[in-house]
Structure 1
Amino acid sequence: MRTRLDRIRHAVLFEIIGLIAIMGVLSQLGFELGHVGAMGVLFSVVATGWNYVYNIGFDKYMLSKLGTLTKTTFVRIVHSIGFEGGLLFLTIPFMAWFLDLSLWDAFVLDIGMVVFYLFYAYIYNLAYDRVFPIPMTLDK
């Protein structure tokens, strides 16, 4: 498994790159950059903590059920869906309140962000695993 420092680097880089990308997209859709940025930073902090906890749990599950940390395409898809699904129900009410949207509009916007992050998470994790391969020793 990955070391604690490697997991922190993974989570922080994921959030920084994702935040920059999503702020650019949402500001182009007419949302005020300051509001989107503040919301994005808050969501990034929450998501960073979730990323850390989720990936530890996911790796432990993989080791116990599959006996390996090697991720197939299917496992990467399941990984991404699980991560984003865990954040979805937390973000909708806050997003509606903070951006002065109806719950439905916040849901639609959040689904759009989830779709973006599903693709982003898959590509990011694939690239991260290639740049920083998983060490052969297990982290305890």
Structure 2
Amino acid sequence: MTEKMGATERLFQAVLFEVLAVSLSILGLVLFTDHAIGALSGTMIIIATIAMCWNFIFNWFFDRVATGAKEKRSLLFRLFHVVLFQGGLLILTVPIMAYILKVSLWQALLMDIGVTLFVTCYAFTFNLVYDHTRAYVLASKKSNHAINT
């Protein structure tokens, strides 16, 4: 069984995820909307901060319910995880996006759905790569520790 993540690693994972997600989301919104990059950057930084908090809280609770080695999670289970996470985040962020960008809730919903669809695919890929990389690093540390003792 894989070692559980502590709070520090969970925070590292969330920050890494969000820095990459924000950068890529701003780029996408700049390409597909007529909003200024400054307004989009500020909006996405606020949304990312909310998402980071949501990521920490959601995954902490999710991992308490879904036990076992994360690198052995099925494709269907990973899809369930990311859709549940992104759905909750969408509910939290649409009103904020509408307010900051001065658009209707409908326009904010459409923009947020676009970002959410991108981030859903990104989250699936990020977490799959992170979990497998983490398992490899932990196995390497155990192997090196066994050799050195």
Do they superpose with TM above 0.5?
A: yes
Deviation of 1:122 after TM superposition, in Å, equals 0.1
Q: CA deviation at 1:68?
A: 4.9
Where structure 1 has 5 or more consecutive residues not aligned to the other structure, the ranges are none
Matches for 1:57-72 after TM superposition, within 5 Å = 57-63=61-67, 68-69=69-70, 70-72=72-74
Q: TM-score, normalised by structure 1?
A: 0.88
Report the aligned-residue RMSD: 1.6
Displacement of 1:77: 0.4
- In structure 2, what is the Cα distance between the partners aligned to 1:44 and 1:111? 15
- Matches of residues 1-140 of structure 1 in structure 2 within 5 Å? 1-29=4-32, 30-63=34-67, 68-69=69-70, 70-133=72-135
Q: Distance in 2 between matches of 1:96 and 1:47?
A: 16
Q: Normalization by structure 2: what TM-score?
A: 0.83
Moved more, 95-104 or 6-15: 95-104
User: Structure 2 vs 1, CA of residues 129 and 68 (structure 1 numbering), >3 Å: closer, same or farther?
Assistant: closer
Runs of 4+ that moved beyond 2 A: 67-70
Structure 2: gaps spanning 5 or more residues: 140-149
Q: How many angstroms apart in 1 are the aligned matches of 2:121 and 2:114?
A: 11
Report the number of matched residues.
133
